[in-house]
């Protein structure tokens, strides 16, 4: 914590840090919250440090797009501290809803707001995209399937084929990590802001619909069309949509065994009867 306070002080000279607190631990960044002022994101590993300028470029594009909700706007340049990179972004008021809370109107509002963000040439230029590297299906076929226990390989192959058989739909902006602490609401239930756009990409908006199952699948079913709901269930059934989006940026998995360690418990927990 002391090192994070030191970094925050360097980025935001003169800002009082008495109320600063550490956000729930993330996989990629430490986030130091300075209520009412800023959030300071500090990379944990070299890969996150090297990716931070591109992530900040996405935030700048979104912040200039006149959106009907707030996004964290960069307040400082990305700054290097040894082998770490850090940036301060604007504070977003409101609170997240607990898991399972919310209603179809709120789910529909978030999905419509994200889907309506124009995929401008400027935004496309800084987003991760499925065309940026190897197709996500190849990553799953080559790096995930062979590492699965034999009892799961045929079943996951079947689920992959089902996802690949979905009819193509026009790309929309996909947030990639909707739900949980990333969506902030006012006390009267209005959408205030959406945080953490690190996984944003062009793609099928049904992916974000699946991520909004944080609020319950029944809420999602009532919030979207029957077609979108069916697509969302297919995307989620493959590996869990929260895991799946990590394969969709075209980069090789940096830790395939760690990825499997997260996926296998999900498969076991969400399937009432494991495949023989």
What is the per-residue pLDDT across 183-237, written as a single tens digit (0 to 9) for each? 999 999 999 999 999 999 999 999 999 999 999 999 999 999 999 999 999 999 9
Closest by Cα among 253, 267, 23 to 136: 253
| pLDDT at residue 273, as a whole number | 45
Rounded to an integer, the average pLDDT of 14-21 is 95
- Average per-residue pLDDT for the chain: 92
| pLDDT at residue 179, as a whole number | 84
CATH topology of domain 2-90: Phosphorylase Kinase; domain 1 (3.30.200)
Asked whether 34 and 19 are in contact (CB, 8 A), the reply is: yes
Higher pLDDT, 11 or 251: 11
H/E stretch holding 81 reads: strand 79-81
| pLDDT at residue 272, as a whole number | 52
% residues pLDDT > 70 (the chain): 96
Rounded to an integer, the average pLDDT of 239-250 is 90
48-95 per-position pLDDT tens digit? 899 899 999 999 999 998 899 999 999 999 999 999 999 999 999 999
Same fold, 2-90 and 104-270: no
Rounded to an integer, the average pLDDT of 161-179 is 95
104-125 per-position pLDDT tens digit? 999 999 999 999 999 999 999 9
d(CA 166, CA 168): 6
Closest by Cα among 193, 222, 151 to 39: 193
| pLDDT at residue 128, as a whole number | 67
Closest by Cα among 86, 72, 74 to 30: 86
Single pTM value for the model: 0.92
Looking at the predicted structure, is the pLDDT value of residue 274 above 50?
no
Residue 161 neighbours by CB under 8 Å, 6+ apart: none
Looking at the predicted structure, is the pLDDT value of residue 166 above 60?
yes
From residue 189, alpha-carbon distances to 35, 88, 98, 99, 229 in Å are: 20, 27, 13, 15, 24
Q: 104-270: which CATH number, 3.40.50.1980, 3.90.1200.10, 3.40.1710.10, 3.40.600.10?
A: 3.90.1200.10
Sequence ranges of the domains in the chain: 2-90, 104-270
| pLDDT at residue 129, as a whole number | 56
| pLDDT at residue 213, as a whole number | 96
Looking at the predicted structure, is the pLDDT value of residue 252 above 80?
no
d(CA 154, CA 133): 26
For residue 262, give both structure tokens.
């997260």
Asked whether 41 and 89 are in contact (CB, 8 A), the reply is: yes
d(CA 139, CA 141): 6
Looking at the predicted structure, is the pLDDT value of residue 46 above 50?
yes
């Amino acid at each position: 914590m002391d090192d994070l306070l030191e970094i925050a002080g360097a980025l935001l000279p003169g800002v009082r840090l008495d109320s600063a607190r550490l956000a729930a631990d993330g996989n990629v960044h430490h986030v130091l919250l300075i209520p009412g002022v800023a959030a300071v994101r500090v990379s944990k590993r070299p890969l996150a440090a090297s990716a931070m300028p591109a992530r900040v470029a996405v935030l700048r594009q979104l912040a200039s797009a006149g959106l009907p909700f707030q996004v964290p706007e960069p307040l400082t340049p990305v700054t290097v501290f040894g082998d770490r990179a850090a940036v301060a972004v604007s504070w977003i008021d409101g609170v997240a809803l607990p898991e399972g809370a919310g209603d179809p109107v709120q789910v529909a509002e978030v999905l419509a707001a994200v889907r309506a963000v124009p995929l401008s040439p400027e935004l496309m230029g800084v987003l991760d995209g499925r065309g940026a590297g190897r197709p996500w299906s190849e990553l799953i076929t080559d790096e995930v399937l062979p590492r699965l226990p034999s009892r799961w390989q045929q079943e996951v192959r079947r689920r992959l084929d089902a996802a690949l058989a979905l009819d193509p739909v026009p790309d929309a902006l996909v947030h990639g990590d909707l739900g949980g602490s990333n969506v902030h609401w006012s006390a009267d239930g209005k959408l205030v802001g959406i945080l953490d756009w690190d996984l944003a990409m062009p793609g099928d908006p049904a992916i974000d619909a699946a991520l909004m199952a944080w609020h319950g699948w029944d809420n999602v079913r009532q919030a979207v069309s029957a077609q979108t709901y069916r697509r969302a269930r297919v995307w989620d059934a493959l590996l869990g949509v929260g895991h799946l989006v990590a394969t969709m940026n075209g980069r090789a998995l940096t830790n395939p065994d760690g990825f499997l360690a997260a996926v296998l418990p999900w498969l076991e927990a969400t399937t009432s009867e494991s495949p023989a």
